[in-house]
Structure 1
Amino acid sequence: MASSDHDLSVILKPNEILTVEIINDQIIPFLLTHFSDLRSSIPRQTTLALPAPDSTSSKSAVLDPQVTSNPTDSPRLKSKNRPKAKTKHKKNGHRNSSNKSNSGQQDVLKDEAQLCEQIDRLHRDLSYIREELDRLKRIEDSVGGLVRELVQYSTDNAFMGLKKAQAQADDLDSGGGGSSAVLQLHEMQIKLSLVTYIISRLKLQIPYSHRILSTSSDAHRYEQALDEMVADSMFGGMPKPRVGPDLLWSSAYRDFCSVYHSLDLQLKLCLLCFAVFPEQAVIKKRVMSYWWIGEGLLDPAVKKQKTTAGDVLGELAAKDFIQPIVKKRRLGAKSYRMHPIVRFMVINLAKEANFFDFDSKGYATADFSKSHRACLVKSEHGSWQHALENPDINFDKLHTLFNVNEAFLDFKLDWFLRMTNVNVLSLGRWKGSPNHHIEVEGTEFFKGLRGMKHLKFFSLQGISRIFELPGSIGELYKLKILDLRACHNLESLPDSISSLKELTNLDASGCYLLDSLPKGIGSLSKLEVLMGFVINDRKQGSSCTLNDLVKLRKLRKLGIVTMRKSFPQQKERWWLRRLGALKKLKISWGGKSFSSTSSKDARTSTTRDLGLPDGLEKLDLECYPLENPPGWLSPGKLRNLNALYIRGGNLHCLCKDPKGDGDPKWTVKILRLKYLNEFRMNWIELRDSFPKLVCLQKINCPRLTLFPCDETGLWLNEEQDEASRFKKKDDGAVAR
C-alpha cells in the first residue's frame, strides 16, 4: 500500500489546481483500486459460517442486497446457540463459555460483512461521480468548440470594417459610398444572426436545473413559468399546462425558435409529434418509431433522411428538445420525456404550423379541419365524439387519428367508411403501463377498414373485447405495421392477412387466446418483425409453421410461443437456421397445456449437432420448463450472442460446450436472470464463463448469493461499460 500512497502523492502536487481531467483520469481510478484492494484484504471469515447454497442463511444478506434478513437469524447459528436438553450441571460453565465465544464470533462476522458493504457502497458512489464528471467534460468540450466559433464570427471583418465604410460614406457626395455602408450593414446582420445562433446553442448546453434556477439573463422566466404550472388534474389524469403567455415574448423563446428553425424538415415534424402527449409523459422509442413510419417521416427509400427512430431521437436529445430516460446503471435509453417548458413551446409551434388543433389550455382536439390530424382526448369541454358527429366534417382530410387518453372507444361505421386517406390509426395503448385500460363498445366499425387504402400503421394494443379481426383487413394493401400486442380477448386472425404484402411488423405478443397464426404469414416477404408466433402441434394444415417462415429473408426479430417442452427439436432448429437475417429470438414456453413429449426425449433431441442461427445477437428465454439446459444453449453454439435473458421456469444451471472444443467462453455482454428459484452459479464461475460481461441483472434468484449487485439487483463492469459508452456514446450524445 505504500507504493500506492507514493503514487497518489505524485498526482497530488502541492498548490496545483485539480482539474476534472486529473480527478477523473487519475484520482478516482486510484481510489477505486484502493478500495477494491481494501475490500479484498478483509479476512474471508465471513464465509466460514455460511450455510449451504440452498439454505436461507442471512450471512449472504449483508453482501447481497437482495436478501435483507438479520444475520443473527440463521438457522444454523441459532442451532449452535440453542442449549441442549438434559445436560449435567457440571457442564454449564463450559457451555456458557462456548456460547460467549460463538456470540463474539458472530459479532466479528457481522462487523466484517457490514464493513464490506460500506466499501462496496463507496465504490459505487465513486463510479457514479466519475460518470457525472465525464458528462460535464463532454459539455466542456462542446462549449469550447462553440466558443471558438463565437470568437471567430464576433471578430470578423464585417464588424471591424463597418466604421471604416461609414466614414467613407460621410466623406463622399450623395450616395457614392452609401451603398458600400449598406452592404457592410447587410453583411453584419448576417454575421449577427450566426452569432445569435451560436449563443443560443451555448445556452442550451447549460443543464436544465441551472437554467431554471438562474436569475441572470432571461433564464429566470423559466422559474416563474414553473411556478405557474399547477398540478391540477383533468379527466384522464392529464395535468393542466398553465405556463404563462409571457414566456412567448421572452428572449428564451426566441432562442428556442432559432434552434427549432435550424432543424431540417424531418426533425421539425418528428418533434411536433411530441406536442400531443401529457406533461411528464414517458414515451417509448417504439411508439414514436411506429408513428413516424406511418406518417412517412421514416423511410429508408428516401435519401438524405435519417432512417431510424434512434437517429431522430438522438439528435433531438442532443439539442435538449427531449430528455432520454436512462434507468439507473442501465445501458442506453429506450424511453424519453419532454421538459414542461419545452413542451409548452413545442405546443405553440405546433399550433402555428397547424400540425394539430389545440384548445385554449393546450390540449389536442379532434378537430382536423386545418391540421389533417385528430386526437382522442377526454376534456372538460365534451367528448371527441361530438366533434366527429359534425355533419359538415370532411373525413377525407383526416390523415392521423391518435388515441391520447380515451378509455372507451365507440366509433360509427360511417366514420370509418369515410376515412379513405388515413395513414395512421393508433387506437390502442401507447403508455408502458398495462394498467391503462381501453375497451371498445363493439367491433362493427371494423368493417369500414376496407376503404382505408393508404393506412400504414394500425394499432389496437391493449384494447379489450376484440375477439376477432374482420376479413376486410386484408384490403389494407399499404399497411406496414399491425400492432395487436396484449389484445387479451383476441382468438383468431383472418386468413386474408396474407394479402398484406407491404407488412414489415406484426406483433401479436400477449394475445394468450391465439392458438395459431394463418399459414399465409409465410408469404409476407417484407416481414422484419414477427412477435407472438404460436407453435401448436394440435393445429396443423391451415396454421403457419416454422417451415413456412423460411421464405422470410428479411425477418430479423422473431417471438415464439410454444406449448411443447421439447421445442426446438432438430428439424425446427434447422428451419430457424435458414432465417439468415434473424438477430433477435424470443421463446416462451406455456399456453393452454404442454404436449406429452417426455423430458428425456426433450433432452436428447436438443443436444444434437444443430444450434440456433449463427448470427443470433439476442436470445430471450421465458419459462423454460426443464431443469437441465438444452445442448443449443451453450457458448459454442451461440458465438455471436451479445444479450441473454432467462426469465422464469425450472432451469438449474448453464452448461458449457458439450464437446468441450477448447472450452469456449460466452460472448454475452448483457445477462438478465429473473425469477429462477433453482438456478445455481457462483460469482467466480459466472465471471469466468462470461469474460465480456458488461451488465448483469438478477431478480428473485435466491440461489445466486454473494453477487456484488446493488440494491436493485444490477451489476456493471465499470471498465468495459466506460469503453462501450465512449465508443457508442448514448442516445443523447450524438455529434452536433
Structure 2
Amino acid sequence: MLPNNLRQPAIDGNTIDSIIRNVNQVHQAIQKQDAELATRLQDAANQAIGLHDDSNEAIRLQDEANEAVELQGTNQAVQVQDADQAAGEGVEGSNMTLIRNLENALYLLKRNLKYMVSLQTDVETELNKQLASLKPVDKRLEPDGNMHTSLTNWIKHELEDVTKKLLDFISKVPSKQKKKKASPDYQDSDAGSNRRHILCLPAIHETEDLKRLSVFRQVRDQYQELSPEHQICLLSFSVFPENREVNGTMLMYWWIGEGILPVIGAENEVKTILDNFKEKKLIEPVENKRKVEPSSYKMTPFVHSSVVLISTEIGIFDIYHKGNMPTMRKSFLNKVCLVEGSSNQPEAKRRGMDADHIETVFNVSERFPDFTCKWFSKESVLEKNKQMLKVLHLGRWERTNHRIQIEMDSRRGMESLSSMRKLRFLSFQGILTIKSLSFSARKLRELIILDLRGCYNLENLPKKIHKLQNLVFLDLTGCDTLEGIPMGLALLSNLEVLKGFVVSHDRETACDLIALNRLLKLRKLSVTIDREGFGLDTLIVTINEFNALEKLKVRWGNRLSRSIINQQKKKLEHSSNPGVEHRLPRKLRKLDMQRFPHSELPEWLQPQNLNGLEKLHLRSWKHLTGFGDAPGEPTDLCRLKGFDKRPGEPTNCCVKVLRLNYLPKLKVDWIDLTELYFPKLTFLESTSTGITLSACDGDGIWRSDI
C-alpha cells in the first residue's frame, strides 16, 4: 500500500521537473515495498554465480542467472493471473503484479523525461551558440537593413550552417506519425493525394551525349586505373544523390561489411582511398573550417552521372532507369538499394524478391524499410546456407540533413535477424521507433559493425550480447534511454570502438565502466556519465589501465551531484586518493570532455602533464577559470612595468589541436595560451571564452599555417 502522502500526488506546476519529482517519489515508495523480493532474487543470482574465480565466467553466469530470474518472474505472474481468474481469489498477488507493471511504466517515464530534460539543455546551449554566431551577421548589415554585395555569400553560408544545426536538434524530438497502408500495386496514384510525389527530371546519365564528353572519358579512364576493390568503392557513390554530403565513417562501415576493406587498419585504408579519389578530382571534400581534416565528401553532377552510368552498365547497382524515377531492383551483383516508394512496389512482398543470394540491402531514401525483413524470414529462406546477406543498412546515412524520418516496426523487423548468419554490418541509425534489439541478434556471429546511432528511444540491448564475438564497432551515440548495458559487453574481446557507453546506477546488473578494462583492443571510447559523485578523480582511476585507448570522449549528464563542487572548495579532487596513480592512458592522443563543473583542472590534466596528448577539447565547463599556474613567477620588477609574470619556460605539452567552447569564466592571455601553456599549438577553436588579445578570426578559429 502506498503512503498516504503519495496516494494522490499533486504536481506543483506543469513542468518536467515537477513530474520527475513526483515520479521519483512514487518510484521510491514502490521500490521500498519491493526490497524483500529484490533481495531474494539477488540471492538466487549469487547462488548461480557461486565462488568462481574467473571473472569472465562469473559475468556469464550472472547474465544467465538474471535471465532465469526474469523468466521465473514472468511465469509466476502469469500463474497468479490465471489463478485469480479461475478462483476469484489471490487479490494480493494480483495487486503485486499491477505494482510491477506500474513500476516498469514509471521507470520508462522517468527515463524518457530525463532524456527530454537533457535535450532541452542541449537545445538551449545550441540556441545560445547560434545566436552568438548570428550577431556578426547583424553587425555587418547597413543601418537601412541592406548589406554589401561582397558579404552575401558569407552570410548565406552562416545562415545555412545555423539552419542545419537546428534541424539536427528538431530531428531528435520524438513525434508520432502513422504509416499509410501500402497498396499492393506500385502506381503513382496509389499513395493518394496526400503523398509527396517525386518530380523526376531527365538525368545527365540518361543521355547518349554524356559518353562523348571529356569529363566522362576522364572518369572512365581513372576508374579503369583503380584496383577492383577501389572500383567498387568509387561506384558506391552512385547510390547517393549528386552533391550530397557522404560521411567517411559510414563509407568505411559499408566497405568493411562488403569485405572490401580489412578490419585491421580500416581507418587508415579508407583515408588513403578517399585521398586518392580527391587527388583525381573524382570527389570533393566538404569544407568545414572547424575541422582539421574533412570528414565528409561529395560528388559533382557530371562526375556523379558518369559514375552512375558505369555502375549501371556493370550491374553493381540498379536504381536508375531511363524516363522513370529511381526504383528498387536487385542488381546483377545481388545488391538492393531502397529508394522512396520502395515499400509500395510488388517486390516489397514476402515472395516479391529472391533473397537467397542478396548480399547488400542499403536504404537510400525509403521511409518504411521494415518490409525487407520479410525477405529473410524463416518462411522465405528455405535453406539457411544460401542466405548471403552481408550488409543490412536500413537506417539513415546522412549525418547532417535529415530529410526523412525513418520508421519501422521493430518487433516484426527483428524477427528475421536469426536467419542472417553471414551479416557483417547492421545499421538502424536514426530510426526513432526502435525500442529494443531482438534477442535473436545474438546469432549474428559474424557481425563486425552494429550501428544504433541516433536511436533515441532504444531501451534494451540483448542480454547475450557477448555472443557477438566478432563485433569490432559498436555505436550507441544518442541512446540515452538505455535501461542498462548488459555485463556481457565486457566479454567482447575484439571490440575496438565503443561509442555512447552510459554510466549510471539505475540497474545494479548493468555493465560498469571499470569492467571495460577487459577489452584489451579498445581504441576509441565515448561515455555519458549520469551517476552522482562520478567525477574526474573516479574517471581517471577507472581508465588509467585502458592501455590501448587512443581517443576518449566524456560527457557528464544532469545528475552530477553539486557536492563535487563543494568538495572542490576544500581540496583538489586528485588528492582524494593519494595512493592511486592519476594519469591518462599511455596511448591516449585525443581527449574530449564536456559539461564538468570544476573551476580548476586537476594536476594530471594541466598542460605541463599532457606530454602525449595531441588533441584536447573542453566544452561547457561553466566554472573553469584557468589551466593552473602558468610558467614563470611574479616579480616586483614585472609589476612595476605592468606585467603580472616574468617570461617563463614553455611547458612540454604536445597538444596541437585545442578546442575551448563555452568556458565563460576562463581568463587567459593569448601569449600565455599559445607560447607557454600550449607551445606546439597549430589549431585553436574558441567560442565564448575569455582569451584576451585573441588572434582568432570572427568564427573563433586560428591556424598556425594561415
CA distance in 2, matches of 1:437, 1:650: 36
Q: Could you tell me how far 1:545 is from its partner in structure 2?
A: 1.4
SS state of the match for residue 406, structure 2? strand
Q: Which amino acid is the alignment partner of residue 358 of structure 1?
A: I
User: Does structure 2 retain, via aligned residues, the 8 Å contact 1:529–1:557?
Assistant: yes
Q: Where does residue 36 of structure 1 map in the other structure?
A: none
- Mean Cα deviation higher: 551-560 or 621-630: 621-630
Is contact 2:599–2:624 with CA below 8 Å preserved after alignment? yes
2:680 to 661, 685, 692: 692
Question: Is the CA contact (8 Å cut-off) linking 2:591 and 2:617 kept in structure 1?
Answer: yes
Query: What CA RMSD, in Å, does the superposition of the two structures yield over aligned residues?
Result: 3.2
Could you give the per-residue CA deviations for residues 110-161 of structure 1, whole angstroms, max 9, x where no partner exists?
xxxxxxxxxxx9xxxxxxxxxxxxxxxxxxxxxxxxxxxxxxxxxxxxxxxx
For residues 200 and 622 of structure 2, what CA distance do their matches in structure 1 show?
43
Q: What is the aligned partner in structure 2 of residue 598 from structure 1?
A: 564
Which residue matches 1:516? 484
**Is residue 2:534 matched to residue 1:567?**
yes
Q: CA separation in 1, counterparts of 2:688 and 2:268?
A: 39
Per the alignment, in what secondary structure is the counterpart of residue 375 of structure 1?
Answer: strand
**CA distance in structure 2 between the aligned counterparts of 1:605 and 1:355, rounded to whole angstroms:** 58
Task: Assess if the C-alpha contact under 8 Å between 2:498 and 2:526 holds in 1.
Answer: yes
In 2, are the aligned partners of 1:65 and 1:711 still within 8 Å (CA)? no
Within the alignment, does 1:331 sit opposite 2:320 as a pair?
no
Matches within 5 A, 1:496-515: 496-515=464-483
- Correspondence for 2:259: 296
- Count of paired positions: 488
* Higher-RCO chain (CA-CA 8 Å, sequence separation at least 6): 1
Contact 1:493 1:517 (C-alpha < 8 Å) held by counterparts: yes
Residue 588 of structure 1: aligned partner: 555
Q: CA deviation at 1:525?
A: 0.8
- Tell me which residue corresponds to 2:15: none
Q: Structure 2, unaligned stretches of length 5 or more?
A: 1-132, 141-150, 152-195, 382-386, 633-647
TM-score normalized by structure 2?
0.64
Residue 169 (structure 2) aligns with: none
Cα 1:671–1:394, aligned 2, differ >3 Å: closer, same or farther?
same
Counterparts of 2:197 and 2:513 in 1: how far apart (Å)?
46
Give the Cα–Cα distance (whole angstroms) in 1 for the partners of residues 483 and 582 of structure 2: 27
- The equivalent position to 1:716 in structure 2, one of 678, 703, 706, is 703
Q: Which amino acid aligns with 2:252?
A: S
- How many Å apart are 1:300 and its aligned residue? 4.9
Q: How does 1:439-458 map to 2 (within 5 A)?
A: 439-443=406-410, 444-458=412-426
* Cα deviation 1:510-550 (Å, max 9, x = unaligned): 1121243111111111111011111113432x211122111
After TM superposition, list the pairs within 5 Å mapping 1:166-565 onto structure 2: 241-242=203-204, 244-300=207-263, 308-328=269-289, 330-361=291-322, 365-368=327-330, 370-378=332-340, 383=343, 385-389=345-349, 391=351, 393-411=353-371, 414-417=374-377, 418=380, 420-433=387-400, 435-443=402-410, 444-540=412-508, 542-564=509-531
**Is the CA contact 2:650–2:677 (under 8 Å) kept in the aligned structure 1?**
no
Q: Is the 8 A contact 1:582 1:616 kept in 2?
A: yes
Matched, 1:680 2:667: yes
Which has the higher mean CA deviation after the structures are superposed, 496-505 or 624-633? 624-633
1:656-675 aligned at under 5 Å gives the runs: 656=628, 664-675=651-662
Distance in 2 between residues matched to 1:340 and 1:694, nearest whole Å: 35
Q: For the residues of structure 2 that align with 1:709 and 1:240, how far apart are their CA atoms?
A: 47
**After the TM superposition, which of the residue ranges 312-321 and 558-567 deviates more from structure 2?**
558-567
SS in 1 for 2:231: helix
TM-superposed CA distance for 1:266, in Å, is: 1.1
1:492 aligned counterpart, secondary structure: coil
Q: Secondary structure at the match of 1:677?
A: strand
The aligned counterpart of 2:61 is none
8 Å Cα contact 2:346/2:352 also seen in 1: no
1:652-708 alpha-carbon deviations (Å, 9 max, x no partner): 23423799998734321111122223222221221121111111112233x335312
Q: Deviations along 1:487-516, whole A, 9 cap, x unmatched?
A: 111112121211110001111111121243
* 1:10-21 equivalence runs, <5 A: none
Q: Cα gap change, 1:259/1:410 in structure 2, threshold over 3 Å: closer, same or farther?
A: closer
Q: Is contact 1:614-1:639 (8 Å) kept?
A: no
1:464 is paired with a residue whose SS is coil
Post-superposition shift, 1:584? 0.4
State the distance in 2 between where 1:258 and 1:384 align: 39
Q: How does 1:139-150 map to 2 (within 5 A)?
A: none
Residues 644/65 of structure 1: CA separation in 2 closer, same or farther (3 Å cut): farther
Distance 1:279 1:67, change over 3 A: closer
Q: Secondary structure at the match of 1:495?
A: coil
Cα distance in 1 for residues equivalent to 2:397 and 2:199 = 15
Which runs of 5 or more residues in structure 1 are unaligned? Answer: 1-63, 72-120, 122-233, 720-736
Change (3 A) 1:615 1:465: same
SS of the residue 2:627 aligns to: coil
Query: Are the aligned partners of 1:437 and 1:463 in contact in 2 as well (CA < 8 Å)?
Result: no
- Structure 1 contact 66–713 (Cα < 8 Å) conserved: no
Give CA deviations for 1:163-206 in whole Å, capped at 9, x if unaligned. Answer: xxxxxxxxxxxxxxxxxxxxxxxxxxxxxxxxxxxxxxxxxxxx
Partner of 1:31: none
The answer for the alignment partner of 2:588 in structure 1 is 616
2:553 and 2:398 map into 1 onto residues whose CA distance is 22
Residue 375 of structure 1 and its aligned partner are, at CA, apart by 1.2
SS at 1:391's partner residue?
coil
Tell me, yes or no, if the aligned pair for 1:416 and 1:445 is still in contact at 8 Å: no
- Give me the whole-angstrom Cα distance separating, in 1, the residues matched to 2:348 and 2:137: 57
Task: Decide whether the 8 Å contact of 1:642 with 1:670 is kept in 2.
Answer: yes
**C-alpha displacement at 1:383, in angstroms?**
4.5
TM-score between both structures, scaled by the size of structure 1: 0.61
Question: Matched residues in 1 for 2:421 and 2:512: separation?
Answer: 29
Structure of greater Rg: 1
Is contact 2:530–2:560 with CA below 8 Å preserved after alignment?
yes
Paired with 2:551 and 2:232, the residues of 1 have a C-alpha distance of 31
**Secondary structure, counterpart of 1:469 in structure 2:** coil
Whole-angstrom distance in 2 between the partners of 1:246 and 1:422: 37
* 1:461-482 deviations in Å (ceiling 9; x for gaps): 1111111111111111011111
Question: In the alignment, is the contact (CA less than 8 A) between 1:485 and 1:507 conserved in 2?
Answer: yes
Three-state SS of the structure 2 residue aligned to 1:632 is helix
Aligned AA (1:522): A
Once the 2 structures are TM-superposed, how far is the Cα of residue 564 of structure 1 from its aligned partner?
A: 3.8
Flag the 1:717–1:566 CA change in 2: closer, same or farther, 3 A: farther
Shift of the alpha carbon at 1:437?
A: 4.1
The Cα of 1:69 is off from its aligned counterpart by 9.3
Deviates more, 1:390-399 or 1:660-669: 660-669
